[in-house]
């Protein structure tokens, strides 16, 4: 391949990659802001709502370590989220009856009320999206996005050092 053709290939790849990177940046900035809008009425971020969701999905009783593992974040990140949720009285902690070193977290009554309000709000928003765009498109986009991002993570982990 001559230099001109190689430069065109790099140019096309660069342009495509930058479009992909721009989409990523847009998703992080705009979708996050949009999803936070309702939860901020309660002093929460959407990420904190997701922590509350995981607590609720674990029979309203789990540990910080289990949350960190499930949500694929560091224990310190979960500890910060839970500390904020405790300060707002949305969750409470108590020692395990069998092992006092284990601290279990659960949603408080106030936390359950806020959780249910936000859950129904987000489900309503999601259903509106499916009605407007079409369930097939939404399902296909979610499936393709998961495949692309999982593959990219896998490829990056298995990739040798930069060439």
Domain coordinates in residue numbering, the chain: 3-158
Output the CATH code of domain 3-158: 1.10.10.10
d(CA 79, CA 74) in angstroms, rounded, equals 9
Helix (H, G, I), strand (E, B) or coil at 69: helix
d(CA 154, CA 158) in angstroms, rounded, equals 6
pLDDT digits (tens, 9 = 90+) for 28-69: 888 878 888 999 999 999 999 999 999 999 987 899 999 999
CA-based angle 119:28:143, to the nearest 5?
A: 70
The two tokens of residue 118 are: 């936000």
Full-model pTM: 0.79
Helix (H, G, I), strand (E, B) or coil at 66: helix
pLDDT of residue 136: 97
Per-residue buried b or exposed e for 39-50, using 16+ beta carbons within 10 Å of the residue's own CB:
beebebbbbbbb
On whether the CB atoms of residues 51 and 67 are closer than 8 A, the answer is: yes
pLDDT digits (tens, 9 = 90+) for 59-115: 878 999 999 999 999 999 999 999 999 999 999 998 878 887 888 999 999 999 999
């Amino acid at each position: 391949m001559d230099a001109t053709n190689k430069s065109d290939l790099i140019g096309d790849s660069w342009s495509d990659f930058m479009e992909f990177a721009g989409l990523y940046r847009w998703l992080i900035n705009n979708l996050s802001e949009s999803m936070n809008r309702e939860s901020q009425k309660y002093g929460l971020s959407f990420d904190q709502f997701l922590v509350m969701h995981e607590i609720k999905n674990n029979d309203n009783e789990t540990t910080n370590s289990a949350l960190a593992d499930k949500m694929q974040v560091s224990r310190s990140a979960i500890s910060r989220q839970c500390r904020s949720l405790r300060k707002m009285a949305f969750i409470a902690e108590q020692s395990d009856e069998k092992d006092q070193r284990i601290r279990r977290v659960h949603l408080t009554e106030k936390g359950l009320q806020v959780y249910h309000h936000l859950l129904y709000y987000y489900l309503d928003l999601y259903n509106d999206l499916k009605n407007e765009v079409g369930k097939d498109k939404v399902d296909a986009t979610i499936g393709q996005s998961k495949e692309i991002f999982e593959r990219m993570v896998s490829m990056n982990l298995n990739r040798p050092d930069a060439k």
